[in-house]
A = this chain, B = another copy of it.
């Protein structure tokens, strides 16, 4: 591979040479983090936190070496850069801002705290003990408030946190976005409930299933989606995630929630969507700052595309109908009676539920609005951590009409806070909405998605389209510029509202 084809500017080349060591440190921390979430013995957490924290401090130190900072600043002023080189300059100037503003002690403390907190959270969730996690969450909120102060913001401290996941968006932008989609989604939910075809009491709900067979089914799904195990692996964890160390080593961790085989399938497809984003990134971008989408809305649009638009379609589900029969006698009964239709309605059932990751495509966004409000409240100080279980439950009641019977299924349901990720959640909603924009353009180019997902050749076309239009570019473009380049449009929630309307009421 000739590195020279994309990066020829001498300043950028110098930058990328120095950057390889930074990449190596981030690579090693990513491996350690993957291990922490999959295989690490529980008591290893403390030392893991210290080791990862030291590596982050070191990353910062190497990043802030004077000659490197000068090169990065210079790169912003160069006017003869190609798009790839501009991407390097853009991303590194953002990183520089981060490293210049956050003191090393803060970064180290943050890394140490999250390594322990994520292990404590895992146990607290298992034991249904919010009190065990509470002191860590208090600490984490303090830390992210400090982070916001260090980073700076114009209007709201939450802006500074959102900005680290979504370059161009603010608290105000997300407030406007949620205001725009809240009512249409509520109306849609009302109509779907009235029509009733996706909301009936489903006999498959809470059906036990054969986990070994489900593992096999997920493997089969991954294989159909072109998973290449020479460059990829899948593991199990409590909370599904994807990580990539280089273009040739990308990993998902999926899960097997009790009584919900559909969710295991959906999570697998979801994470594989993320994995493809990394696997299909231009290999020349390895060991540069451009390996992965910098926009979390963009990242999430890839996973939600694969989970919902591909994975929950009747044509896709129909391919695995024989395997599903083996999961349990109840599932076999439904299939024998209704064919794939029963499974399709079950997997797409629209019904307010307790947990975001298990929510349907419509009510999903209410979970995020709720968390957006809570995070905003925690950051501005209008809400206190100790009151969270109660606040959580009352907001669940308000938005979804259901109240979690335990904190494990309520405020403790999700790992993101334990990682210190505040400001991340809104991108789950905007990313889901973005997925439909890709669908519209893809169908203009390739024809109906329902036909495509039904064959290997069609899946290849879908994946190549995503590779060509989105994934190959990593973080070369901002979300705004990529949308302009690939779609000629700016972000628009309407296509998703249209898609949901057709899918559930059409």
A229 at the interface (CB under 8 A from B): yes
CA distance A28 to B48 in the complex (A): 9
Closest-by-CB residue of B relative to A58 is B21
Q: Which of B20, B27, B54, B231 contacts A21 (CB 8 A)?
A: B54
Closest-by-CB residue of B relative to A57 is B21
From B21, B27, B46, B54, A248 is in contact (CB under 8 Å) with B46
A500 at the interface (CB under 8 A from B): no
Contact A40 B287 (CB under 8 A): no
Q: Mark A236-275, 1 if CB is under 8 A from B, else 0.
A: 0000000001111100000000000000000000000000
Q: Is the interface of A mostly helix, strand, loop or mixed?
A: helix
Check A380 for interface membership: any CB of B closer than 8 A: no
Do residues B287 and A44 form an inter-chain contact, with CB atoms below 8 A? no
A406 close to B (CB within 8 Å)? no
Partner of A232 from the list B20, B41, B233 (CB cut-off 8 Å) is: B41
Total contacting residues, chain A, CB less than 8 A: 43
A278 to chain B, nearest CB (A): 12
Considering only residues 261-297 of chain A, those with a C-beta below 8 Å from chain B are: 286-287
Write the nearest CB–CB distance from A219 to chain B, whole angstroms: 15
In the complex, per-residue mask of A14-43: 1 if CB is within 8 Å of any chain B CB, else 0: 000000110111011101101100011111
CB-CB under 8 A for A55 and B249, given A41-B233, A233-B39 = no
Nearest-CB distance from A448 to chain B (Å)?
34
CA distance A52 to B48 in the complex (A): 17
Q: Cβ of A43: which chain B residues have Cβ within 8 Å of it?
A: 230-231, 248-249
Q: Are B58 and A248 in contact (CB under 8 A)?
A: no
Report if A50-B24 is in contact (Cβ < 8 Å); known contacts: A58-B58, A249-B43: yes
When distances are taken between beta carbons in the complex, the residues of chain B under 8 Å from A44 are 231, 245-246, 248-249
Q: Determine if A368 is an interface residue (Cβ-Cβ < 8 Å).
A: no
Known: A31-B35, A35-B31, A35-B35. A249 touches B24 (CB 8 A): no
Residues 303-325 of A contacting B (Cβ, < 8 Å): none
A41 touches which one: B52, B58, B231 (CB < 8 A)? Answer: B231
| Shortest distance from the beta carbon of A178 to any chain B beta carbon, whole Å | 39
In-complex Cβ contact of A50 among B230, B247, B287 (8 A): B287
* Bound CA span A41–B232, Å: 6
A505 at the interface (CB under 8 A from B): no
Chain B residues near A58: list those with CB within 8 A: 21, 24-25, 58, 62
Cβ–Cβ < 8 Å partners of A32 in chain B? 28, 31-32
Say whether B51 contacts A28, CB under 8 Å: yes
Q: Mark A167-182, 1 if CB is under 8 A from B, else 0.
A: 0000000000000000
Chain B residues whose CB sits within 8 angstroms of the CB of A53 once the complex forms: 24
Question: Does A64 belong to the interface (CB within 8 Å)?
Answer: no
Interface residue? A446 (CB, 8 A): no
Q: With a CB–CB cut-off of 8 A, which chain B residues contact A25?
A: 54-55, 58
Interface assignment of A47: CB less than 8 Å from any CB of chain B:
yes
Which of chain B's residues have a CB closer than 8 A to the CB of A42? 230
Complex: A247 Cα to B41 Cα, angstroms: 11
Q: Is the CB of B20 within 8 A of A50?
A: yes
A54 B24 Cβ-Cβ under 8 A: yes
Which of B28, B41, B47, B232 contacts A55 (CB under 8 A)? B28
Whether A47 contacts B233 in the complex (CB less than 8 A), given A28-B55, A29-B28, comes out as no
Distance between A14 CB and nearest chain B CB, rounded to angstroms: 17
Residue of B nearest to A283 (CB): B47
Q: How far is the CA of A222 from the CA of B65 in the complex (A)?
A: 48
Among residues of B, the one whose C-beta sits closest to the C-beta of A43 is B248
Residues of B within 8 A of A232 (CB): 41
Nearest-CB distance from A236 to chain B (Å)? Answer: 12
In the complex, A53→B25 CA distance in Å? 11
Across chains A and B, which 10 residue pairs bring their CB atoms closest together, nearest first? A44-B249, A24-B54, A47-B246, A43-B248, A28-B28, A27-B51, A24-B51, A42-B230, A43-B230, A43-B231
Seen from chain A, the residues whose Cβ lies within 8 Å of a Cβ on chain B are: 20-21, 23-25, 27-29, 31-32, 34-35, 39-44, 46-48, 50-55, 57-58, 62, 229-233, 235, 245-249, 286-287
A-B contact pairs, 12 of them (CB 8 A): A23-B51, A24-B54, A25-B55, A25-B58, A28-B31, A28-B51, A39-B233, A39-B235, A41-B231, A44-B248, A47-B245, A48-B246
15 further contact pairs, Cβ within 8 A, besides A27-B51, A41-B229, A41-B232? A24-B54, A24-B58, A28-B28, A28-B29, A28-B31, A31-B32, A40-B249, A43-B231, A43-B248, A44-B249, A47-B245, A47-B249, A48-B245, A48-B246, A58-B58
